[in-house]
């Protein structure tokens, strides 16, 4: 049994991450309206080359803070963001993985570094505009991360690395609201970002051209060449670098064939792209490394869960088999298509599906490949 975590006592100081968008703006407004001492902080991450946290966004956030009458500060983390997120993004592609930089950004910048700033301001709590909910387990006292009311905006997939100490200091003011309600609230308040469009792309890849970002960060990638091979090792053509492909990709391969071919596997050390038929993408199991359990406790026995292997994946029931070294072997109840190394596998508690408060995130980690059939 779980009960909602109430918003902190009226009048507490809370630092709110403000991106300049409608979600974080309304989150700040709701807390200010509730009587909290709100401090808005914008993290300047990717400079003016980004659609998120750019210099324009900083000014949008500043205007909203003025409208709300709250204090506002800008924290410059561009060098750290370059080293910890963008560099890792490029290296991951060159090593044949498909990274999710938003997870690292959320963990390190939206929470770790934001909490550091909160301490400077004498605030114990931080808040963001993420669509997620928090509850506390009545029996164990552990904090629980749950899907939001608006499942179309669910962002828990990107938050699986949060720990108990962090969850005790976080609030998600939008967890009980739909996106439409958030926009309506922003309009009612006359906030500048009420109708600001959303970006569905990675913030530092605004045009969707991942390969060019990799080549800018790692110029040596421009000279990489390799071969397409089928599952029997037969050469089907040449390509211009493994950083241009991801498992499950069909379009843009540049292979002349009388059948539809998909990327099945990327062997970076040999610069090989293995292609095959759609059914060859189905996996009944997968390996997940660097698993983080939100409770802080690694299960001693297999666990049943719903496993989501990419952001828009609906997830499938599966059995989690914890192994040594923080690894889990996931056995799916039904075939899962395009298990891509580098993507996150997030685990949701099956028993909480019928709970009116929604599914609980129990943990997650990084897909390292298909498991045994």
Q: Considering only 73-77, 285-289, 314-318, 319-323, which range has the smallest mean pLDDT?
A: 73-77
Residue 17 lies in a domain: yes
Residue 150 shares a structural domain with residue 249: no
Residue 147 lies in a domain: yes
Residue 58 shares a structural domain with residue 125: yes
Domain residues for 314? 282-370
Q: The tokens of 244 are what? A: 């241009």
Residue 240 shares a structural domain with residue 355: no
User: What is the pLDDT, as a whole number, of residue 358?
Assistant: 82
- Nearest CA to 106 out of 174, 161, 40 is that of 161
Residue 140 shares a structural domain with residue 76: yes
Residue 264 lies in a domain: yes
pLDDT tens-digit profile of 228-278? Answer: 999 999 999 999 999 999 999 999 998 988 889 999 999 999 999 999 999
Residue 212 lies in a domain: no
Residue with tokens 């580098």: 342
Residue 309 shares a structural domain with residue 338: yes
Q: Which helix (H) or strand (E) holds 43?
A: strand 37-44
User: What is the pLDDT, as a whole number, of residue 110?
Assistant: 81
Phi, psi of 143 (to 5 degrees): -80, 140
Residue 208 lies in a domain: no
Rounded to whole angstroms, the Cα distance separating 22 from 195 reads: 7
Residue 17 shares a structural domain with residue 110: yes
Q: CA–CA distance from 21 to each of 26, 87, 208, 274 (Å)?
A: 9, 26, 20, 41
Residue 297 shares a structural domain with residue 270: no
pLDDT tens-digit profile of 43-58? Answer: 888 655 555 556 678 8
Handedness of CA 116, 118, 119, 124 (dihedral sign): negative
User: What is the pLDDT, as a whole number, of residue 10?
Assistant: 57
Residue 264 shares a structural domain with residue 294: no
Residue 14 shares a structural domain with residue 67: yes
CATH for 270: 2.30.30.280
Residue that finishes a domain, picked among 214, 249, 276: 276
pLDDT band at residue 173 using 50, 70 and 90 as cut-offs: very high
109 three-class SS: helix
Rounded to whole angstroms, the Cα distance separating 83 from 93 reads: 15
Residue 159 shares a structural domain with residue 139: yes
Give catalytic residues, as residue numbers: 105, 203
CATH for 40: 3.40.50.620
Residue 248 lies in a domain: yes
CATH for 331: 2.40.30.10
Rounded to whole angstroms, the Cα distance separating 223 from 168 reads: 48
Residue that finishes a domain, picked among 259, 276, 293: 276
pLDDT tens-digit profile of 179-223? Answer: 999 999 999 998 876 777 776 678 888 788 999 999 999 999 999
Residue 49 shares a structural domain with residue 146: yes
Residue 217 lies in a domain: no
pLDDT band at residue 299 using 50, 70 and 90 as cut-offs: very high
Residue 358 lies in a domain: yes
Yes or no: say if 205 and 213 are a contact pair by the CB < 8 Å rule: yes
Yes or no: say if 346 and 361 are a contact pair by the CB < 8 Å rule: yes
Residue 170 shares a structural domain with residue 49: yes
Q: CA–CA distance from 85 to each of 106, 114, 246, 306, 373 (Å)?
A: 10, 16, 19, 28, 34
Residue that finishes a domain, picked among 173, 189, 205: 189
Number of domains present in the structure of the chain: 3
């Amino acid at each position: 049994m779980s009960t909602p975590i109430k918003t902190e006592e009226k009048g507490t100081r809370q630092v709110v991450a403000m991106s300049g968008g409608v979600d974080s703006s309304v989150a700040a407004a709701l807390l200010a309206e509730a009587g909290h001492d709100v401090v808005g902080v914008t993290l300047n991450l990717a400079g003016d080359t980004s659609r998120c946290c750019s210099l324009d966004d900083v000014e949008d956030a500043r205007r909203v803070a003025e409208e709300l009458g709250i204090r506002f500060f800008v924290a410059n983390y561009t060098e750290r963001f370059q080293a910890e997120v963008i560099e890792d993004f490029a290296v991951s592609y060159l090593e044949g993985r498909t990274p999710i930089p938003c997870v690292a950004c959320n963990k390190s910048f939206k929470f770790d570094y934001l909490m550091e700033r909160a301490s400077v301001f004498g605030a114990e709590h931080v808040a963001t505009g993420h669509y997620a909910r928090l509850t506390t387990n009545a029996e164990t006292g552990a904090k629980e991360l749950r899907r939001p009311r608006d499942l179309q905006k669910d962002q828990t997939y990107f938050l699986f690395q949060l720990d108990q100490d962090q969850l005790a200091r976080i609030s998600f003011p939008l967890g009980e609201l739909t996106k439409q309600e958030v926009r309506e609230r922003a309009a009612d308040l006359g906030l500048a970002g009420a109708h600001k469009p959303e970006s569905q792309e990675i913030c530092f890849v605004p045009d969707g051209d991942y390969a060019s970002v990799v080549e800018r960060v790692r110029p040596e990638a421009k000279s990489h060449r390799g071969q397409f091979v089928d599952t029997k090792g037969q050469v089907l053509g040449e390509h211009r670098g493994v950083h241009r492909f991801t498992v499950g990709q069909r379009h843009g391969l540049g292979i002349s064939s009388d059948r539809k071919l998909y990327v099945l596997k990327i062997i970076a050390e040999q610069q090989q792209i293995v292609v095959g038929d759609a059914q060859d993408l189905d996996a009944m199991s997968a390996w997940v490394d660097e698993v983080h359990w939100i409770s802080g406790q690694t299960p001693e026995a297999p666990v049943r869960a719903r496993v989501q292997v990419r952001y828009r994946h609906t997830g499938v029931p599966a059995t989690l088999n914890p192994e040594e070294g923080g690894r889990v072997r996931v056995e799916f109840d039904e075939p899962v298509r395009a298990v891509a190394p580098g993507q996150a596998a997030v685990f949701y508690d099956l028993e909480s599906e019928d709970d009116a408060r929604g599914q609980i995130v129990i943990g997650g980690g990084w897909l390292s490949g298909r498991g045994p059939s």
